[in-house]
Amino acid sequence: MSETFAAEGPSAPFWTLPRLRRWFRKVLSHLGGLGLLAWDLVREGRRRWEGGEILRQMDALGVQSIAIANLTCLFTGMVLALQTAHSLGQFGGKLFVGRAVILSLARELGPVLTALMLAARCGAGITAELGTMAVTEQVDALRALGASPVRKLVLPRVVAMTVMLPVLTLIAIFHGMLGGLLMAVFEIKIGASFYLSTTLQSLGFNDLMHGLCKTPVFGLEIALIGCYNGLGASGGADGVGRATTIAVVIASIAILVTDFFLTKLFIALPFG
């Protein structure tokens, strides 16, 4: 018995067998809960949607996130231009800065960075909002009135995030291109017309689709994980805080893992 307590003490490493088993059970439980919530979402999606609530969530989760998404990609484009010019300058390739910036933003950095920023802002907001409703028994009150929390609370947020994330990503990519333009003109001393022409010539429909096709999946993950952790929150304010932290971490990891598999899939497709 003493050996068991010693093995699971606070100084014990994470990879002890009992801790690994508990962690594995938590992961499976979380995945199972997300799967059940997704199934409930599909069933409730066959009924009449709450159009007004969907529009309100599109404004709260999408329109109000434009600034943070644009700032992220604006400065990312500026940094990309500086780093690319510094690296390619050794080989006389500064003229290719625009191509490197737009392709990196369109295919990878724009969608992923926008999704990560929205996972931090919107995922945390969804979890905190629904978690507060759960711990104050407002969700139970909805069930008592015969209303479905999935249709009233989850469906509008999932639809809003899935629709708005591609739009935000497209706007963010444009601002990232502008950030690269600023650095090209004022730091690298490349003409604005040359930068824009080479950028637009390099950006093809396939490159844009490679990045934008990932974003609905990212939006679905952010909203679904936030709603699941929010509805499952318990234990007052501390429980809501823990649920919010877990939701942001899991959503960020899910975005990065999903991005890898979607990239492999899209490379194999005709527009990859």
Confirm whether 54 is domain-assigned: yes
In a domain, 235, yes or no: yes
| Any domain includes 14 | no
Does residue 92 sit within a domain?
yes
At 160, give phi and psi (nearest 5°).
Answer: -60, -45
pLDDT band, very low/low/confident/very high, at 3 (cuts 50, 70, 90): very low
Residue 234 has pLDDT above 90, yes or no: no
Secondary structure of residue 120 in the 3-state scheme? helix
Report percent pLDDT > 90 for the chain.
Answer: 51
Please report whether residue 133 resides in a domain.
yes
- Closest among 168, 263, 144, 177 to 219, alpha carbons compared: 168
Domain around 247: 50-268
The predicted pLDDT at position 147 comes to 84
Do 220 and 107 meet the contact criterion of CB atoms below 8 Å apart? no
Is the pLDDT at 76 greater than 70? The verdict is yes
Percent of the chain's residues with pLDDT above 70: 93
Residues in the chain: 272
99-122 tens-digit pLDDT: 889 999 999 999 999 999 999 999
- 2 lies in some domain: no
Residue 269 carries which DSSP code?
S
The Cα diameter of the chain in Å comes to: 75
Mean of the per-residue pLDDT values of the chain: 87
What is the number of alpha carbons within 13 Å of residue 103 lying toward its C-beta? 12
Q: What is the pLDDT of residue 73?
A: 94
Whether the per-residue pLDDT at 4 is higher than 70: the answer is: no
Most confident of 24-38, 158-172, 227-241: 158-172
Q: Is residue 43 part of a domain?
A: no
Domain count, the chain: 1
Q: What is the pLDDT of residue 188?
A: 85
pLDDT digits (tens, 9 = 90+) for 166-198: 999 999 999 999 999 999 888 888 888 888 888
Domain for residue 19, yes or no? no
